Structure 1
Amino acid sequence: MLRIALVLGLLVMIGPFAIDMYLPAMPDIAADFGVDEPAVQMTLTAYFLALGVAQLVYGPLSDQTGRRLPVFLGLGVFFIGSMGATLAGSVEALTGWRAVQGLGGAAMMVMPRAIVRDLHTGNEATRLMAMVMLVMSVSPMLAPLAGSFVISLGSWRTVFAVLAGAALIAAMVMGVTLGETLPPEKRTPVRVKSLMQNAGILFRDRGFMGLTMIGGFGMASFFVFIASAPFVYVQEFGLTPTQFSLAFAVNAIGFFSASQMAAPLGERLGMRPLVRFGVTGFTFCVLLLLLIVASGFQNLPVVIAGLFCANACLGVVIPTTMVLALDAHGERAGLASSLGGTLQMLAGGLMIAATGPFFDGTVLPMLAAIAICGVMAMGFALFTVPRRVRA
């Protein structure tokens, strides 16, 4: 299980590295192109939206061809997008190439979840997913620091050149270490009628949709933080790129440390009660933090501590909702993984786009947007996750 977790974690890291590694450079990108913060945030929005929409392709494709081909296809597209971003001459061009990156990175979001479902279900799947996320946790903790180091050697363009190299390395690792997990006899040809029928089943499944949107708004809160924090921490609180990277890592540690408790807590409390507990804690923490900051305590340690606690609660929610959403849909795991990932990425991208016009470089709008995500996740938890069902 450890070897599989390492390989899948390395694949999953590609997408987050494309986000986290260039975060310290966002103010430099704005200055280089002579644009404002929302224009640079659109490069993230484009990435998230493409990352979401493309998952609808990779899932059904993997159900027909197996899991390996979509991975290699996605890595190739990601490589092309990274090279294009390296040479971008305007923020509009950078936004377009970031969308291409997202089209490729989507494969690394869908395939690990589908592979986990191929191999395990229930708490075993949660344990493997948590191990994957532990490997992935290196990204938000080290990627901004790595980005700061790379930028110091060259410029923000060098970050994308490094990402292109990472895609090549990931392709070689996948090629030699992980075989096909979906045998031919279990593959499903892509037929539009069947695809629509299965999609209809998923859309009508209250549990699937509820769990997907809980995870989606949970992830959206983190995406809002990612898009806003570089400007808030650097401009309002005066941190250097390296100091920002360290502050960012603190919040990531809370999330990924808690994610390792998801499987044992799920066994003890039940997976669905754990989701309700985690969402409640997350929403309480972000609303309390918003109230404190709105009252005038715009203090960096308070913000970091509050987000650490909130993200720790979120850490038990994300892997659990991923597993529960797919548990009843093994025969359509690829499509379910694609659709779930698409809805989650769209939630994140749309939240950034919707809150961007209200962002003024200060902490309060960022926390308000995160709090909205928490309230939305709580609403879906109340109406779709049974209170007394342990499974």
Structure 2
Amino acid sequence: MPLFRTALVLGLLAAVGPFAIDMYLPALPLIAQDLQVTETHVQTTLTAYFACFGLSQLAWGPLSDRFGRKAPIFAGLGIFAVASVGCALAPTIGALTGFRALQGVGAAVVMVTPRAIIRDIETGPKATRLMAMVMLVISVSPMLAPLAGAGLMQIGSWRLMFWVLCGAVVLSLLLTTFALKETLPEEKRTPIRARSLLAGARILLTDPTFVGLTMIAAFGFASFFVFLSSASFVYTGQFGLSPTGFSLAFAVNAIGFFGMSQAAAPLGERFGTLPLIRVAVTCYAAFNLLLFALVAAGHASLPLIIGLLFCANAFLGLVVPTTMVAALDPHGSIAGLASSLGGTLQMVTGGLMVTAASPFFDGTALPMVGAIALCSVIALTLTTVMLPRIRAQGDPVA
């Protein structure tokens, strides 16, 4: 398939999972009110989604190596559809949390398989360019999904969002059937054997390149997950924004991330992968630490928070596609397993950070930006420690 068409198809499929998060964000305070639970209880529905979204990738990756890329997509989207109906009908926060977890299981497949498909057809800077194009397509989710959610809240309850997600799954199934080419031929498929999976996992987890780059991206993702779980309460509570106003503010931060991601491939080609990652992580951490210092000093204005998060997320947009591609590059023979293990580490890290930070959230900006700054400091520390080891072992991504 032509590069643009491939990116468009993969991006639309991969956007299903983020769309299920982003459209839901403006409704979090309303859900807490409707189900008569606390902010922390509602945040648990996001944590459950993230955790299952991450852990399930461990299964979808090997399944995609065994049965090809398309069959697992059909299965995962079917699970997602059933879970969406359950969310729409959930009578309690417990039921909603359970069905959100099941949604995460199904949505995980469209995170794993696009990465593996990219590795099937491209490597190096070309793969980074394709990954960045896929992320550009995904960017419609954080920019439009919260607005769509706010709009749906004007004509119905928060439950309507999950019926809309069912419709999105139908479109995704049609897209997979008619527009997605199978990229893993029969002769290259790998049987699922516990011994081979453990051997592959051992190779990946003892590879400084894979572990280092994956965990740098993981704490970058974690900072974004912290923002996702708390921003609606901060923006609507502390700053009095409406659901639509929150959606617009959220979109500004997403534009920084996805806009800059398009520069990742050409900058990587010009300056090298590792130098780009080092500079981008440093700038990402610097903006987050500056934001935390200013908010802690009492300067928690909405324009300041939006502006500095925009800058920080812009540099994170350079980090994520570059590290994701570079981590997979040396492992083409187990691309599905590498993609799933990497995705699991990233999503579980994000879920754990949200869980650890949740007790400190009080509806104000300081705990949110503090947790985001902590994630960025950990990412910077990993960058400082791991990148010299990657360069020292002469890895081709250097």
| TM > 0.5 fold call | yes
- Taking the aligned partners of 1:373 and 1:79, their CA distance within structure 2 comes to 33
Paired letter, 2:57: Q
Q: Size of the alignment, in residue pairs?
A: 391
Following superposition of structure 1 onto structure 2, how do residues 112-151 of structure 1 map, counting pairs within 5 Å?
A: 112-151=114-153
Match of 1:278 in 2: 280
Match of 2:24 in 1: 22
Match of 1:257 in 2: 259
- Taking the aligned partners of 1:38 and 1:274, their CA distance within structure 2 comes to 37
Any unmatched runs of 5+ in structure 2?
A: none
With the length of structure 2 as denominator, give the TM-score of the two structures: 0.97
- Taking the aligned partners of 2:113 and 2:274, their CA distance within structure 1 comes to 24
- 1:168 offset after TM fit, Å? 1.1
Q: Render the CA deviation track for 1:340-366: whole Å, top value 9, x for unaligned.
A: 000000001111111101110100000
Q: Render the CA deviation track for 1:125-166: whole Å, top value 9, x for unaligned.
A: 000000000000000000000001111111100001101110
Paired letter, 2:364: T
With the length of structure 1 as denominator, give the TM-score of the two structures: 0.99
Any unmatched runs of 5+ in structure 1?
A: none
- 1:229 offset after TM fit, Å? 0.2
Say which of 184, 200, 203 aligns to 2:202.
200
- Taking the aligned partners of 1:276 and 1:208, their CA distance within structure 2 comes to 16
Q: Is 1:11–2:13 an aligned residue pair?
A: yes
Paired letter, 1:144: P
- 1:38 offset after TM fit, Å? 0.7
Match of 1:379 in 2: 381
Say which of 156, 180, 192 aligns to 2:158.
156
Match of 1:55 in 2: 57
Paired letter, 1:370: I
Paired letter, 1:168: V
Match of 1:45 in 2: 47
Match of 1:294 in 2: 296
Say which of 107, 110, 117 aligns to 1:108.
110
Match of 2:219 in 1: 217
SS for the counterpart of 1:329 is: helix
Paired letter, 2:327: A
SS for the counterpart of 1:181 is: coil
- 1:318 offset after TM fit, Å? 0.3
- Taking the aligned partners of 1:40 and 1:265, their CA distance within structure 2 comes to 40
SS for the counterpart of 2:56 is: helix
Say which of 91, 97, 107 aligns to 2:93.
91
- Taking the aligned partners of 2:155 and 2:276, their CA distance within structure 1 comes to 45
Match of 1:356 in 2: 358
Q: Render the CA deviation track for 1:243-293: whole Å, top value 9, x for unaligned.
A: 000000000000001000000000011011111111111111100100011
Q: CA RMSD in A?
A: 0.9
SS for the counterpart of 2:15 is: helix
- 1:60 offset after TM fit, Å? 0.4
Q: Is 1:269–2:271 an aligned residue pair?
A: yes
Paired letter, 1:241: P
- Taking the aligned partners of 1:143 and 1:229, their CA distance within structure 2 comes to 15
- 1:200 offset after TM fit, Å? 0.5
Match of 2:173 in 1: 171
Match of 1:307 in 2: 309
- Taking the aligned partners of 1:74 and 1:272, their CA distance within structure 2 comes to 35
Match of 2:320 in 1: 318
Paired letter, 2:267: L
- Taking the aligned partners of 1:53 and 1:323, their CA distance within structure 2 comes to 20
- Taking the aligned partners of 2:150 and 2:5, their CA distance within structure 1 comes to 30
- 1:184 offset after TM fit, Å? 1.1
Q: Runs ≥4 in structure 1, deviation > 2 angstroms?
A: 386-391
- 1:380 offset after TM fit, Å? 1.1
Q: Render the CA deviation track for 1:186-242: whole Å, top value 9, x for unaligned.
A: 111011111101100101001100100011110110010000000000000000000
Paired letter, 1:80: V
- Taking the aligned partners of 1:268 and 1:32, their CA distance within structure 2 comes to 53
Paired letter, 2:143: M
Say which of 185, 188, 191 aligns to 2:187.
185
- Taking the aligned partners of 2:337 and 2:128, their CA distance within structure 1 comes to 19
- Taking the aligned partners of 1:186 and 1:380, their CA distance within structure 2 comes to 35
- Taking the aligned partners of 1:271 and 1:12, their CA distance within structure 2 comes to 24
